[in-house]
């Protein structure tokens, strides 16, 4: 990011990313990029984009109604907790936008517009990639446009989307992606000078994370293994229980779904703030198949421990105090 930032004589920026989902990795990467930009002297803000499709489903009506009832407490508490974190630590646009049309009708002025990181260009498993807003289509003519660590998160771009991706990305001033595998996908579309860069959570130093760590209202009274069990991966919980038994400690879990209370754990932190466990001088071992596990582990890093991280696909980690073991 630093090389891209030095090439652009920008003073103000707006970033559009997945900032509103009640997802720890999404919020932390938003904090990471915006904080990195502000450390570079940029008056950086995040475009508060909260599209309607975040709260809609294509499932049959009976299932949607049942999920709406079950998940209503999640939605209420999640919006409150994650919204408070954004309000406290991430400068946002004065207006919240729900559709691309709303952004186009009232686009905030900026020297540069940025999209990224997270799965903003995934059009197979996410609606983000089908939303032109995440390709900065709203930027005024002649405006500088930059993609930082945009994640395609697909084995290939679907044939029926290739012309659209080419059209939307070809006029960017700088393009970088999170996964190295995405570079040839874009090059095959005729987009040149594509870079593979680290997730924005790894752009920050320990002191940057301590800003939110010291504001945590959680004071541990016992040792524990912390599990961020995204998608309820049974092998992760089984591993955590084995590790906790070996160490003689408790299993704590953090998540956003109320039904996770039924999982194998000693204490569940439901919709806890993203900085709840960002306590200084903690030790962690993270196991999972999501880069967001890595993000949480990075947040917990100190110079007094080694961190074991197991992922099912290669990622890049920029913390010299940690070591990574690939599955």
Q: What is the pLDDT of residues 47-82, one digit of tens each?
A: 999 998 887 766 777 776 777 777 778 878 888 999
Query: What percent of the chain is predicted at pLDDT more than 90?
Result: 54
Shared domain check, 218 and 146? no
Shared domain check, 164 and 45? yes
As for how many domains the chain has, the answer is 2
Whole-number pLDDT of residue 310? 35
Q: Which of the two residues, 308 and 55, has the higher pLDDT score?
A: 55
Place of tokens 């044939």: 159
Least confident of 99-108, 157-166, 168-177, 300-309: 300-309
User: Helix, strand, or coil here: 94?
Assistant: strand
Whole-number pLDDT of residue 280? 60
Does residue 317 form part of some domain? Answer: no
Average pLDDT over residues 154-171: 97
Question: From the centroid of its chain, how far is CA 161?
Answer: 24
Least confident of 101-115, 241-255, 264-278: 264-278
Does residue 203 form part of some domain? Answer: no
Shared domain check, 127 and 217? no
Shared domain check, 302 and 173? no
Tokens for 86? 């954004």
Whole-number pLDDT of residue 295? 57
Rounded CA separation 50/322 (Å):
35
301: pLDDT strictly greater than 80: no
Whole-number pLDDT of residue 319? 32
Does residue 319 form part of some domain? Answer: no
pLDDT tens track for 310-321: 333 333 333 322
Query: What percent of the chain is predicted at pLDDT more than 70?
Result: 80
Shared domain check, 154 and 75? yes
Shared domain check, 114 and 185? yes
Domain boundary among 196, 222, 243: 196
The bridge status of strand 285-287 relative to strand 12-16 is: unpaired
Domain boundary among 196, 225, 244: 196
89: pLDDT strictly greater than 90: yes
Rounded CA separation 150/160 (Å):
20
Shared domain check, 130 and 227? no
Shared domain check, 216 and 102? no
- The boundaries of the domain holding residue 60 are 2-196
Residue 281 backbone class (left: φ over 0; alpha: ψ -120 to 50; beta: rest): left
Domain boundary among 141, 167, 196: 196
Identify the burial level of 196 via C-beta atoms within 10 angstroms of its C-beta, where 0-12 means exposed, 13-18 middle and 19 or more buried. Answer: middle
307: pLDDT strictly greater than 70: no
Residue 128: which pLDDT band, with cuts at 50, 70 and 90?
A: very high
Least confident of 11-25, 31-45, 248-262: 248-262
Does residue 246 form part of some domain? Answer: yes
Does residue 150 form part of some domain? Answer: yes
Residue 2: which pLDDT band, with cuts at 50, 70 and 90?
A: very low
Rounded CA separation 242/221 (Å):
21
152: pLDDT strictly greater than 50: yes
Does residue 201 form part of some domain? Answer: no
Shared domain check, 191 and 212? no
Shared domain check, 31 and 135? yes
The CATH code of the domain that includes 39 is 3.40.50
Shared domain check, 191 and 82? yes
Place of tokens 């999404």: 26
Shared domain check, 116 and 48? yes
Whole-number pLDDT of residue 147? 98
Q: Which of 191, 183, 188 is nearest to 152 (CA)?
A: 183
Looking at the DSSP assignment, which residues form a beta bridge with residue 88?
Answer: none
Rounded CA separation 58/127 (Å):
12
Does residue 321 form part of some domain? Answer: no
Whole-number pLDDT of residue 293? 58
Residue 188 CB neighbours (<10 A): 12
Does residue 320 form part of some domain? Answer: no
Rounded CA separation 33/171 (Å):
22
Question: From the centroid of its chain, how far is CA 174?
Answer: 20
Q: Which of 149, 163, 248, 251 is nearest to 196 (CA)?
A: 149
């Amino acid at each position: 990011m630093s090389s891209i930032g030095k090439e652009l004589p920008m003073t103000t920026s707006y970033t559009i990313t997945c900032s509103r989902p009640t997802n720890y990795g999404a919020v932390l990467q938003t904090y990471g990029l915006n904080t990195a930009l502000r450390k570079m002297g940029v008056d950086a803000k995040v475009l508060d984009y909260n599209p309607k499709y975040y709260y809609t489903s294509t499932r049959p009506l009976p299932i949607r109604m049942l999920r709406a009832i079950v998940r209503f407490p999640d939605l209420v508490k999640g919006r409150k907790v994650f919204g408070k974190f954004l309000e406290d630590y991430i400068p946002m646009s004065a207006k919240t936008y729900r559709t691309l049309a709303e952004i186009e009708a009232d686009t905030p002025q900026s020297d540069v517009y940025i999209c990224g990181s997270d799965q903003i260009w995934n059009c197979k498993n996410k609606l983000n990639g089908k939303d032109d807003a995440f390709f900065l289509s709203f930027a005024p003519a002649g405006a500088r446009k930059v993609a930082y660590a945009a994640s395609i998160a697909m084995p290939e771009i679907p044939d029926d989307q290739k012309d659209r991706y080419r059209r939307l990305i070809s006029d960017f001033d700088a393009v970088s992606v999170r996964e190295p595998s995405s570079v040839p996908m874009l090059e095959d579309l005729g987009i040149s000078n594509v870079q593979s860069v680290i997730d924005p959570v790894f752009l920050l130093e320990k002191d940057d994370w301590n800003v939110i760590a010291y504001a945590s209202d959680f004071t541990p009274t016992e040792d524990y293994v912390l599990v961020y069990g995204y998608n309820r991966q049974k092998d992760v919980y089984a591993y955590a229980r084995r590790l906790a038994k070996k160490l003689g400690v408790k299993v704590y879990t953090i998540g956003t779904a109320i039904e996770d209370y039924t999982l194998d754990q000693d204490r569940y932190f439901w919709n806890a703030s993203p900085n709840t466990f960002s306590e200084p001088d903690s030790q962690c071992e993270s196991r999972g198949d999501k880069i967001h596990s890595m993000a949480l582990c990075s947040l917990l890093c100190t110079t007094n421990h080694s961190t074991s991280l197991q992922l099912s696909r290669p990622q890049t980690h920029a913390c010299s105090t940690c070591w990574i073991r690939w599955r």
